[in-house]
Structure 1
Amino acid sequence: MDAVRVALLREVLAGTEWVQSTRRFAGTLRGAVTPHGGGLLLVGSAGYEPWHLAAHLDDEAAWSGLPELSPTLVRHRVPGGAPAHLAVGLGRLAAAGRGETLLVVTPEQPGAGLLERVHDARRNGATVLALDGGDRDLHTLAHDALAASPAPPDGTDAASAGLDLDTVQHLVSAAAGENSLPAPRGHRRFRDRLARLTDRLTAPPPPRW
């Protein structure tokens, strides 16, 4: 999701808690890694690998001039022949400690094995953050956590539905690379903002100038 679409999404979400919540969490993430010059470890569950967020944070690190945001993706299974930056296994978490930040991202339950590793990392001094579906045990271990909304039942109105984890990740990664907050916008009905966003995203591109 590019910067224009992130801005339009924030316009749709103006007046909800999501813009403020994702900015707050992004501020926590940025504040954790910047003083230590990096040390960001990103890990998912056995069934969910947050490579998409890893790529977005890497982009934000380059665009914002904040290399500290570039994460190390920690993987449950490392395939043979993987390049060095994609060949970091769970053993890396055993070495996590003071000055490092462990960001756990998963829409599903993290599992007992991962929770134990996260607990050890926190005990060794690492800062633990969580972007997930609201797992109670993981939130207990985390210094800060943000839960995405569960999938809404069929027929749920868009205005009452929350945000899925992928969308929350886009907002957090974009906010982490920003230098300032925009001025607040006036309040409009959620449906009106959603309709306006749809019109703008489906409109043909402007002519060349």
Structure 2
Amino acid sequence: MGSVDAQHVALLRELLASTPWLDRTEDFAKALRRTRDPGGLMLIGTPDEEPWHLAAHLDDEARYSGLPQLAPSLVRWQPPPDAPAHLRIGLDRLAEARRGQTLFVVNSDEEAPVPLLERIDDARRTGATILSLDQGDRELSSLAHESISLRPEREPLTFEGLQHLVSTAAGQPGAERKPGLRERLSRFLDVVSGPRILD
């Protein structure tokens, strides 16, 4: 994340400190981090609006936080055949969705189009976890295991700002991070050897 974006998020967090939004975005971010393996997070928007900005931020967070499972596969409705491989992922990817994988749906419209809802339902049936970020789309939220909805006219937050908060929170697992083998071994040796007495 660039310095301007980081400052923007820091300011947002300060402004929203007395509201429920920080807890809501952090809870949602926990669901994102439950994706098991790299490549298991699929990100999709609507045919008219692809979530490029969010994809870039999640990719950055994956790199900076050491959580490769956060790097999303941007699923596109009509990818150009001559696009680079990572920008050529089409709707066929959703048919491969399995348990342990996550489909993250971003809908900035009032209602998701029916073809999108049908594909979400199919991915859910094959075991994928469905997450949605929307602006009050009840039908989409009903299909999602976890959803976060924003009504910009009622909240001190924009839809783009919400995406910033979610992606930043996803890259900050904090206490949820499990210690690696080296850390666990070091702790074990400390316990076994007991306190060290220095001469």
- Common topology (TM > 0.5): yes
Inter-partner Cα distance in structure 2 for 1:92 and 1:173: 22
Matches within 5 A, 1:94-113: 94-108=95-109, 109-113=111-115
Say whether the 8 Å CA contact 1:131–1:147 is kept in structure 2: yes
How far 1:38 moved relative to its partner?
4.6
Which residue in 2 is equivalent to 1:67?
A: 68
Stretches of structure 2 lacking an aligned partner (at least 5 in a row): 176-199
Say whether the 8 Å CA contact 1:44–1:110 is kept in structure 2: no
Inter-partner Cα distance in structure 2 for 1:114 and 1:162: 29
How far 1:149 moved relative to its partner?
1.9
How far 1:179 moved relative to its partner?
3.2
Inter-partner Cα distance in structure 2 for 1:110 and 1:179: 30
How far 1:37 moved relative to its partner?
4.5
Matches within 5 A, 1:178-189: 178-180=172-174
- For the pair 1:3 / 2:10, whether they are aligned, the reply is no
1:176 equivalent among 154, 163, 170: 170
1:137 equivalent among 108, 131, 139: 139
Say whether the 8 Å CA contact 2:103–2:130 is kept in structure 1: yes
Over aligned residues, Cα RMSD in angstroms?
1.6
User: What is the aligned residue count?
Assistant: 171
Moved over 3 A (4+): 35-38
| TM value normalised by structure 1 | 0.77
- Secondary structure in 2 matching 1:131: strand
Opposite residue 136 of structure 1, the aligned amino acid is R
Inter-partner Cα distance in structure 2 for 1:80 and 1:91: 14
- Secondary structure in 2 matching 1:2: helix
- For the pair 1:23 / 2:17, whether they are aligned, the reply is no
Which residue in 2 is equivalent to 1:127?
A: 129
Inter-partner Cα distance in structure 2 for 1:6 and 1:19: 11
Q: Which has the larger radius of gyration?
A: 2
Inter-partner Cα distance in structure 2 for 1:133 and 1:56: 20
Matches within 5 A, 1:25-40: 25-30=28-33, 32-33=34-35, 35-40=36-41
Which residue in 1 is equivalent to 2:15?
A: 12
Say whether the 8 Å CA contact 1:46–1:110 is kept in structure 2: no
How far 1:80 moved relative to its partner?
3.5
Which residue in 2 is equivalent to 1:89?
A: 90
More deviation, 116-125/36-45: 36-45
